[in-house]
Amino acid sequence: MRRLTTVLVSACAAALFAVMTVILGSPAAAATLVEVTSFGSNPGNMRMHVYVPDSHPASPAIVVAMHGCGGSGPGFYQSSEFASLADRYGFIVIYPTATQSAGFGNCFDTWSDAAKQRGGGSDPVSIVSMIDYVERTYQGDPNRVYATGSSSGGMMTQHMLAVYPDVFKAGASFMGVPFTCFAGASDYPPGSSRCTGGSMDRTPQQWGDAVRQAYPGYSGPRPRMQLWHGTSDTLVPYSLLRESIEQWTNVFGLSQTPTSTDTPQANWNRSRYANPSGTVQVEAYSIQGAGHALPQSGMALYAIEFFGLTTSPTDTTPPTTPGTPVASNVTAASATLTWTASTDQGGSGLAGYNVYREQGATDPQLGQSTTTSITLTGLSANTQYQVYVRARDGAGNLSGNSAPATFTTAATGGDTTPPTAPAGLTASGTTATGTSLTWTASADDTGVTGYDILRAPGATGGTFTQVGTSATTSFTDTGLTANTTYRYQVRARDAAGNVSPVSSTVQITTQGGTTGACSATPTVQSQWGNGYVIQPLTITNTSTSTITSWTVTFTLPAGHTLTGSWNATISTSGQTVTVRSVSHNGTLAPGASTASFGFQASRPNGNTALPSGYTCA
């Protein structure tokens, strides 16, 4: 059964607690995270970001990836591996940002009555609107929609699969709780929560009935569930993993005894619960010694494998044949070809084009392109070439041959005229670590093929070295040092390899980085016998100039151990903790504050001391 196209809009509710995010490294890809400001019904007042990889099938799968309390969609994009996996396997990732609060800020609503019923309102309706938007805008596959998340996002994963079983195919919940574990907003903060207080215990039948009551009358297939939890998690107790297993095995009518157990990696204990045909419906991972700090490196891949997204559907249908290529900018050693695009027909997505030379029994391949043009280099002078193009899809199928194009390269030395020097070089948007350059295009008798960007240190002296290239009249240089002077020049190249004179020089000085003054003020969110959460640790710029990053140090009492953190990069040396800002919370105007950082620590029973000696620079 497919979901309703119109859902009820209800009042927004409150939130959940802080998640400790493990920094795994930003995805490196040409695609970028894009915010969508109008995606449909949004009773949860949420923000939506979407990541669409450059290469994907015509109807890609959709993964909803949800952050923990105090986090954001862009923050989870930066700190998890789902976007880099999307680049590899061609699925789209939705990153929602929760805005509700029930003791902690920016938490997904898994406590309100509105959120516990299909179409009832609040965050679940907003998330389904995001999925509908991706299906409409990017032709996302409605039969391959998945949910995952960490802490509050892991709780929302189990929540969404209960409320919208017809929307999702499977879910992977990191450090979550069973559906309806929270009685209401007042039961949410960990210091007073019955759900996360360590004593929650219901029968499998009670847990399963809660899921069935979320969508009364639903008789279709249920989404498969993968569960992850650390054995040393004290914020969301490890005992809740057993309660989640009981809930979802009961939903599927499975035994509480796993059908198989194994250790896929060191300290990872996996239990699987399969139906009589051998299909694993529920899968649970106990991570030995881990606190509230999942997913760790490599775990996202196991989630994507559980979803079935690491293998492409069988596709044996080739793309349509490309249009006849047209040759231009022909020199003694190169030529540019352009053609009309092909269309993928088998669902694995158009991957690019191969260019061949007609040359007897075996036609050699001259190059590949992911666009509808290519510049062939290394050609022989004064030689006739007859070339054609074939499209290829993600499954490796090749289209038919295009009609051929014929051209003859120029005699050796045919083009010895360099392009004119680029003009009007300017720099703008200079920060502590980067600057953006623009200039006016050069002119050339056979066409400019690109530009070299040159940089020298200091206001005088220093040698200009090439730091990048651009096919357009702009370039952004990054990785610069704060409060440092640099000079730039640009030169043009043509297809024959001729290089223009350099442009005029532009000089920039990067911003001052972290030279301003700041303060750090801790707030104790909750305490219990052997641990505590400090949320937020408020950072305030006390200087008269903008700072672009900050570093806080503090000392843990003897015997205390940091077990998790979020929205910052953490390092420890003995009992000294060093906290460094991340990209989305480092820049503060004079007098401005950020309250996005927090951490959890464990302590020996009876030791009620708290961290001290907070300094900020």
Contact 354, 434 (CB under 8 A): no
Which run of H or of E encompasses 133? helix 122-138
Report d(CA 378, CA 385) in Å as an integer: 13
Contact 236, 177 (CB under 8 A): yes
The separation between CA 550 and the C-alpha centre of its own chain, rounded to angstroms, equals 24
Report d(CA 200, CA 285) in Å as an integer: 20
Report d(CA 482, CA 434) in Å as an integer: 9
Within 13 A of 376's CA, how many CA atoms are on the CB side? 30
Report which of 247, 175, 173 is spatially closest to residue 213, judged by C-alpha positions: 247
- DSSP bridge partners of 470: 451
* Residue 538 identity (one-letter amino acid): T
Going from the C-alpha of 460 to that of each of 463, 486, 506, 509, the distances in angstroms are 10, 9, 12, 13
Report d(CA 446, CA 307) in Å as an integer: 51
Cβ-count burial 560-569 (b if 16+ within 10 Å, e if not): bebbbbbbbe
Instruction: Provide the 3-class DSSP secondary structure of residue 23.
Output: coil
Report d(CA 168, CA 143) in Å as an integer: 8
* Catalytic site residue from 80, 151, 348, 596: 151
Report d(CA 113, CA 185) in Å as an integer: 10
Provide the 10 A C-beta neighbour count for residue 126: 27
Which run of H or of E encompasses 152? helix 152-163
Query: Tokens 């204990």 correspond to what residue?
Result: 269
Contact 90, 136 (CB under 8 A): no
Q: Is 151 a catalytic residue?
A: yes
What DSSP assignment string belongs to 537-605?
EEEEE-SSS-BS--EEEEEPPTT-EEEEEESSEEEEETTEEEEE--TTT--B-TT-EE---EEEEE--T
Report d(CA 503, CA 611) in Å as an integer: 56
Active site residues: 151
